[in-house]
């Protein structure tokens, strides 16, 4: 197999080729590293690409493959499907000895002293880490424009955002730099960038994956989950990382189903799963200001499900409207507590003012180290937690959170297997179009963050294009229903296997090869200058 071809394979196709001896982990790693290094100038999806470490892991994976092959078919098939497969990690996941910036200046120079639980699990599976991906600072954002290390371009149109906060992880998979990557989702940061980049992304049930070794944003909402270019690959990655870990007391002792590795390969078999299933279509998710063409794609997807034998009925989740407000009290409150640890002494960046006292150093470190959005969240959070406001805001938000969860419980109790909804009200938007107005940016997550508030699993899968840019369909299930969601998503994927948009390469990718072209930061600056010149342009 030619080295140039292997980046176009899905992870399960790579796994088959490895077992058949048609390729090696080193060949896979090398081809993906070459592509990532060549295109990172144009995409800025990676904060570090670690060729040396990746090749060491790839060689170790090849050695294991060789001895398994000698031991026979059973040993070969006992290897995890991720064995020898390149993976990208969002740069808030600790890898021993490596950087872990969380997209912030304040963690510049910090080296992780240990592996995250999921990194241990992926090492056991034999996965090969190519590097760390770009992200919004401390995972706060919906566009990846709030990274201290510059924005990321969307491979479909380099002048638009990939979504956030896991924008680097999503762009890297969409651009074929890796078949798989990991992100975190606190209010939508896996599903929304998956939708905007035209790939699959899942936020598992709260407690499904251990957060040990992950930089915390809002601890009652954060979950880790997979990005992939198809549903089977995403399920295999979740299989590798899910499960109880005593070091994260919120990780649940729920068994990880072996069937996650056995989703049907055959399209007819996959689609047959839909017969007799019931889906709810939450009316409140068709929010005001939603792009009408995105709505059209969602309604067409519903028709696909119905034609395949499922019933889809409208359902009401009446407290949806309060999701945004309660999230923006809860998440900043928890963030303000979690971010108190960046004091200039224990981690990374540190300012020492000559002769000044400790408090002055602390203020200077945080003043320099944090970006504007992070400071905004810390202020919102400390305000909501301060004496006199705690009951009015924080406690009230927790009560509304219970009501949001109850809406979902009632829908599932009424017999719906899952809910079907848009992932994001719009497709990828141009750089700068929402940064001046925090509320318009926050609205990007109106359809995803209630799911985090309720602790439920949700998956985004590609369902077509709007003016050449990908649209995501979201499926939401009861707690611990990841396997069912993957089956439903696999069925939808099978139904649309013949669609014209399915095999398309991201349209901007051809431009990403130009080593002399503009960086995402230069594109953003150029657009900002153009917007400032346009008469009457919104600022």
Q: Is 153 helix (H, G, I), strand (E, B) or coil?
A: coil
Q: Which is nearer to ligand GLN, 50 or 185 (CB)?
A: 185
Facing residues of 470 across strands?
Answer: 465
Q: Which is nearer to ligand GLN, 99 or 186 (CB)?
A: 186
Based on the residue annotation, tell me whether 165 is a catalytic residue of this protein. yes
Tell me how far apart the alpha carbons of residues 59 and 63 are, in angstroms, rounded to a whole number: 6
The tokens describing 521, both together, are: 């930061």
**If residue 122 lies in a helix (H) or strand (E), which one and from where to where?**
helix 117-125
134 belongs to the binding site for ligand GLN (CB under 6 A) = no
Q: Which is nearer to ligand GLN, 186 or 365 (CB)?
A: 186
CB of 189 to ligand GLN, least distance (A): 3
| Number of residues lying near ligand GLN (CB under 6 A) | 13
Q: Which is nearer to ligand GLN, 146 or 416 (CB)?
A: 146
Neighbour-count burial of 246, counting CB atoms closer than 10 A to its CB (0-12 exposed, 13-18 middle, 19+ buried):
exposed
Q: Which of 444, 460, 480, 169 is nearest to 327 (CA)?
A: 444
Tell me how far apart the alpha carbons of residues 148 and 491 are, in angstroms, rounded to a whole number: 40
400 belongs to the binding site for ligand GLN (CB under 6 A) = no
Tell me how far apart the alpha carbons of residues 96 and 423 are, in angstroms, rounded to a whole number: 34
188 belongs to the binding site for ligand GLN (CB under 6 A) = yes
Q: Look up residue 257 and give its DSSP letter.
A: P
Q: Which stretch binds ligand GLN (CB under 6 A): 118-126, 167-175, 180-188, 531-539?
A: 180-188
Site for ligand GLN in 307-346 (CB under 6 A): 331
Based on the residue annotation, tell me whether 405 is a catalytic residue of this protein. no
- Cβ(459)–Cβ(487) below 8 Å: no
Q: CA–CA distance from 132 to each of 45, 49, 190, 240, 442 (Å)?
A: 9, 7, 16, 19, 26
Q: Which is nearer to ligand GLN, 23 or 144 (CB)?
A: 144
- Cβ(47)–Cβ(95) below 8 Å: no
Q: Which stretch binds ligand GLN (CB under 6 A): 172-180, 182-190, 286-294, 487-495?
A: 182-190
| Site of tokens 């990374």 | 348
Taking residues 210 to 239 in sequence order and writing x for each that binds ligand GLN by CB under 6 A, - otherwise, the string is: -------x----------------------
144 belongs to the binding site for ligand GLN (CB under 6 A) = no
Tell me how far apart the alpha carbons of residues 216 and 63 are, in angstroms, rounded to a whole number: 36
Based on the residue annotation, tell me whether 251 is a catalytic residue of this protein. no
- Cβ(109)–Cβ(351) below 8 Å: no
- Please state whether beta strands 180-185 and 86-90 pair in parallel, antiparallel, or not at all (unpaired): parallel
140 belongs to the binding site for ligand GLN (CB under 6 A) = yes
The residue within the footprint of ligand GLN, chosen from 187, 282, 348, 371 (CB under 6 A), is 187
CB of 154 to ligand GLN, least distance (A): 16
165 belongs to the binding site for ligand GLN (CB under 6 A) = yes
145 belongs to the binding site for ligand GLN (CB under 6 A) = no
Tell me how far apart the alpha carbons of residues 281 and 299 are, in angstroms, rounded to a whole number: 10
Q: Which stretch binds ligand GLN (CB under 6 A): 119-127, 183-191, 383-391, 481-489?
A: 183-191
Q: Which is nearer to ligand GLN, 193 or 280 (CB)?
A: 193
What are the helix (H) ranges across 202-344? 231-241, 267-272, 292-307, 323-338
- Cβ(290)–Cβ(425) below 8 Å: yes
Tell me which of 104, 153, 165, 251 is the catalytic residue.
Answer: 165
Q: Which is nearer to ligand GLN, 33 or 404 (CB)?
A: 404
The residue within the footprint of ligand GLN, chosen from 86, 141, 162, 204 (CB under 6 A), is 141
Instruction: Please report the DSSP string for 205-231 in residue order.
Output: PTTSB--TTB--S-TTT-EEEEEESSH
Q: Which is nearer to ligand GLN, 4 or 372 (CB)?
A: 372
**Helical axes 11-19 vs 231-241, angle rounded to 10°:** 80
The residue within the footprint of ligand GLN, chosen from 119, 139, 195, 238 (CB under 6 A), is 139
The residue within the footprint of ligand GLN, chosen from 57, 99, 104, 186 (CB under 6 A), is 186
CB of 294 to ligand GLN, least distance (A): 18
Q: Which is nearer to ligand GLN, 122 or 324 (CB)?
A: 324
Tell me which of 104, 142, 143, 189 is the catalytic residue.
Answer: 189
Q: CA–CA distance from 52 to each of 55, 59, 153, 288 (Å)?
A: 5, 11, 26, 49
142 belongs to the binding site for ligand GLN (CB under 6 A) = yes
99 belongs to the binding site for ligand GLN (CB under 6 A) = no
Binding residues (CB under 6 A) for ligand GLN: these are: 139-142, 165, 185-189, 217, 331, 445
Q: Which residue numbers are catalytic? A: 90, 165, 189
């Amino acid at each position: 197999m030619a080295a140039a071809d292997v980046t176009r394979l899905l992870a399960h196709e790579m796994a088959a080729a490895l077992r058949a001896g048609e390729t090696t982990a080193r060949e896979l790693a090398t081809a993906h590293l070459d592509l990532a290094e060549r295109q990172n100038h144009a995409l800025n999806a990676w904060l570090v690409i670690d060729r040396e470490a990746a090749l060491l892991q790839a060689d170790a994976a090849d050695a294991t493959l060789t001895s398994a092959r000698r031991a026979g078919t059973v040993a070969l098939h006992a290897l995890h499907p991720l064995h020898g497969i390149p993976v990208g990690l969002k740069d808030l996941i600790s890898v021993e000895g490596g950087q872990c910036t969380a997209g912030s200046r304040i963690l510049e120079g910090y080296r992780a002293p240990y592996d995250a639980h999921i990194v241990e699990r992926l090492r056991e599976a034999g996965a090969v880490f190519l590097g760390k991906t770009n992200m919004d600072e401390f995972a706060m954002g919906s566009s990846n424009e709030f990274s201290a290390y510059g924005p990321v371009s969307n491979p479909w149109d380099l002048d638009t955002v990939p979504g956030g906060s896991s924008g680097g992880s999503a762009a890297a998979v969409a651009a074929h730099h890796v078949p798989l990557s990991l992100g975190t989702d606190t209010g939508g940061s896996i599903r929304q960038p998956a939708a905007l980049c035209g790939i699959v992304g899942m936020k598992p049930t709260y407690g499904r994956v251990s957060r040990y070794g992950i930089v915390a944003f809002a601890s009652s909402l954060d979950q880790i989950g997979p990005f992939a270019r198809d549903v089977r690959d995403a399920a295999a990655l979740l299989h590798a990382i899910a499960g109880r870990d005593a070091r994260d007391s919120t990780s649940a002792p729920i068994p990880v189903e072996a069937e996650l590795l056995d989703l049907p390969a055959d399209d007819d078999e996959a689609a047959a799963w839909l017969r007799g299933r019931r889906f709810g279509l939450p009316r409140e998710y068709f929010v005001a200001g939603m792009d009408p063409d995105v709505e059209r794609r969602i309604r067409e997807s519903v028709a696909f499900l119905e034609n395949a034998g499922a019933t889809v009925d409208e359902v009401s989740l009446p407290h949806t409207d309060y999701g945004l407000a309660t999230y923006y009290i809860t998440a900043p409150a928890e963030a303000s507590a979690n971010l108190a640890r960046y004091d200039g002494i224990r981690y990374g960046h540190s300012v020492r003012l000559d002769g000044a006292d400790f408090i002055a150093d602390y203020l200077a470190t945080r003043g320099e180290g944090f970006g504007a959005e992070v400071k905004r969240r810390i202020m919102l959070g400390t305000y909501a937690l301060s004496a006199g406001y705690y009951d009015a805001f924080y406690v009230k938000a927790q009560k509304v959170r219970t009501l949001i969860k109850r809406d979902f419980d009632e829908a599932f109790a009424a017999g719906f297997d899952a809910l079907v909804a848009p992932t994001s009200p719009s497709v990828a938007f141009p750089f700068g179009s929402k940064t001046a107005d925090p509320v318009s940016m926050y609205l990007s997550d109106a359809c995803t963050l209630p799911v985090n508030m309720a602790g439920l699993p949700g998956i985004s899968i590609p369902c077509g294009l709007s003016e050449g840019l990908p649209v995501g369909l979201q499926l939401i299930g009861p707690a611990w229903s990841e396997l069912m969601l993957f089956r439903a998503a696999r069925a939808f994927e099978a139904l649309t296997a013949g669609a014209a948009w399915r095999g398309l390469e991201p349209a901007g990718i051809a431009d990403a090869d130009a080593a002399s072209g503009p960086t995402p930061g230069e594109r953003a600056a150029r657009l900002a200058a153009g917007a400032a010149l346009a008469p009457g342009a919104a600022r």
